[in-house]
Amino acid sequence: MSTYYMYISGADVVPPKRKGRAANGSVKRFKKGNNGQRPRIVIKDGMMTPIGAWSTEFVNEISIIFRKHAPLTILDWRIVPRGVKNTMHDFLKVSFGIDLHLPHVRKVVDKFLGQRFRDYRCTLHKHYKSFGDDDTNRRKKPFDNVVQEAWIMEEIRRSTTEAIRRAEQADRRAEAAERRAEDQNQTIQTMQA
C-alpha cells in the first residue's frame, strides 16, 4: 500500500489509513453480548501471570493501553509517576474485571506495563537509529502513532543527555590525568630527596 501526501497550507498531511481490525475487538464484543459485563481476570497470589480464558486478550490490552498513554520523556519505568500508572490501571479496569486493589495483582500488572515500556522504548530507539547519522530525517519521521512534538522532545532529550554524559566523561578523564601527574611529581620529589 502506498502513501500519498497532500500539501495543505504549508503542512504535510498523511491521509487516514484504511479501517482495519479493531484493536482487541473480542473484549468489546464480549461486553456488548453480556450486557456490559467485563471479562474476569484472575491472578493468583504467587503467580506472575494471569490465568483463564481472557489472559491473552488482557496482555494485548495492556500493550494497547500502554502505546496510547506511554510517557516518552521518561527513561525508566520505575520513575513513571504514580498518576500515569493509575491512569493506565483505570483503563484496564474499564475493559476487564480485575482486582487491582490487591498488592500481588498490582505488582503483576505493573510488571507487564514495565515490560511493555522497555519493549516500546527499544522499538523507538531502533527506529531512531535506522536513519544513521541523518539528524534531519530522524526529526522528520516519528514512529507510528507518536506525535511529532513528542518525538522531537525525545530526540532533544536524548541528544542533551548524550552531551552531558560526554562532558562528564571528559571531566573524569581530566581529573584522572591530574591525579597521575601529581603522583608522578610526588614520586620524583621523593626520589630526589
Domain identity same for 174 and 109: no
- Identify the sign of the CA torsion 116, 117, 118, 119: positive
Dihedral-angle region of residue 131 (phi above 0 means left; psi in -120 to 50 means alpha; beta otherwise): alpha
Residue 7 lies in a domain: no
For residue 88, the enclosing domain spans 24-130
Average pLDDT over residues 114-128: 80
Annotate 23-37 with DSSP letters as a single string: TTHHHHHHHHHTTTP
Domain identity same for 114 and 191: no
Work out how many domains the chain is built from and give that number.
2
Q: pTM, whole model, 2 decimals?
A: 0.58
**φ, ψ of residue 6 in degrees (nearest 5):** -110, 140
Domain identity same for 31 and 90: yes
Q: What is the pLDDT of residues 1-21, one digit of tens each?
A: 444 433 333 333 444 555 555
Domain identity same for 124 and 145: no
Where a domain ends, among 111, 130, 149? 130
What is the C-alpha separation between 162 and 167, in angstroms, rounded?
9
Which candidate, 73, 84, 75, 77, places its Cα nearest to that of 149? Answer: 73
